[in-house]
Amino acid sequence: MKIAFEPEQQALAAGFDRAVGALAKPEALRALWDDETGRSPEFWEAVVGMGLPAILVPEDCGGFGGGLVDLALVLESIGRHAVPDALLEALVTGPVALARAGSPEQQERWLPGIADGSLRATVALRGLASVPDAHVSDLLVYRQGDDLLVVDLGGCTVTRQTVMDPSRRQFAVEVPEGAAEVLPGSAGALDIVLAHEAAGSASVLIGLSQRMVDDTVAYAKVREQFGRVIGSFQAVKHQLADATARIQMASFQAHAAAAKVAGDADDARFAALAARQVALDAEFEANRAALQLHGGIGFTWEHDLQIWLKRGKALEQAHGNRGEIADEIGAAVLARL
């Protein structure tokens, strides 16, 4: 299984990392907490300017016709910088759902606008009680049983929910009766949409986890206790080494899963679920070690580490928690048998 990236994919991710590094610094994220939308128009313009919304849109709808591998490293960067925008939904699951399950008319109506950035999609595959970025999105793709539906958010009632992470904006959405349209190809597309969500979210968790470990390593090199920097203590080294090993293992799994998902492999859904489960384990350990080795200060409002700690805990639940993913893996194994 190929887990290497092409130079073009690496260059795209490096360019995005530089752009987001300049626009999503901790002080910029904090400033957005008190903003009405909590979102930066300049950041979305940068995302569109790099052509990211078009990557998974088919060429005949104005996109690039790419695959998840093209965005895997970008998704890691999204986690590394704790980007507040719901980009997994806007760049991955939204375009994929419409491209795979939408009718020609629905695709013509929505996908060109998604590709050029004039329309923004969000996705809810686990209910309408907590939909990310519904306030800045134009359309919502959501799951109802085994069907995928699409609705114009302009006609929906959107109510903001209170969440622990001030960077995340979550909303309860009420869809008026008859306003939504069923995507007719849902039966054949639901698994691949869920696979994109699982594998894509794994990549975000990997970037998030690596940032927490990197920041903790830097802290351990300067924080002194008993006359020595704490990074010299074996117990500290072991915790950071364990977290690093888990992240590396999760990274290999996520890259392989992205390739399977992009190639429509028969076991793509299973590989994606496994990638998310391993990434969840890595994030959980990185989160725990970062908090413990900072001595609790990292969770205070004044310390920037709390941005990543809270985002990690939120994303542990957002796209299927460990128990739910374990159940789905078990069902996938039984289905294969």
86-97: b (≥16 Cβ within 10 Å) or e: bbbbbbbbbbbb
Q: Are 54 and 48 in contact (CB under 8 A)?
A: no
Q: Is residue 232 part of a domain?
A: yes
Mean pLDDT over residues 13-33, rounded?
Answer: 93
- Residue 303: the pLDDT is 94
Question: Is residue 83 situated within a structural domain?
Answer: no
For residue 159, what is the DSSP state? E
| Predicted confidence (pLDDT) at residue 88 exceeds the cutoff of 80 | yes
User: What is the rounded CA–CA span in Å between residue 245 and residue 66?
Assistant: 30
Least confident of 65-69, 117-121, 248-252, 316-320: 316-320
> Does residue 259 form part of some domain?
yes
Residue 133 belongs to some domain of the structure? no
Does any domain span residue 41?
A: no
Q: Are 285 and 246 in contact (CB under 8 A)?
A: yes
Query: Which pTM value belongs to this model?
Result: 0.95
Average pLDDT, the chain: 95
Give tens-digit pLDDT for 175-198.
999 999 999 999 989 999 999 999
pLDDT tier, 2 (very low <50, low <70, confident <90, very high otherwise): low
| 209 occurs within a structural domain | yes
What is the model's pLDDT at position 336? Answer: 75
Rounded to whole angstroms, the maximal C-alpha distance in the chain is: 69
Measuring CA to CA, which residue among 126, 129, 127, 124 is closest to residue 139?
124
Domain-embedded: residue 211: yes
Across 119-130, average pLDDT? 96
Q: Does residue 86 lie within any of the structural domains?
A: no
- CATH code at 298? 1.20.140.10
Helix-helix angle 7-23:69-80, to 10 degrees: 20
| Domain range enclosing 270 | 187-336
Q: State the total domains in the chain.
A: 1
Token pair 């016709």 is at which residue?
A: 65
- The mean pLDDT of 129-149, rounded to a whole number, is 97
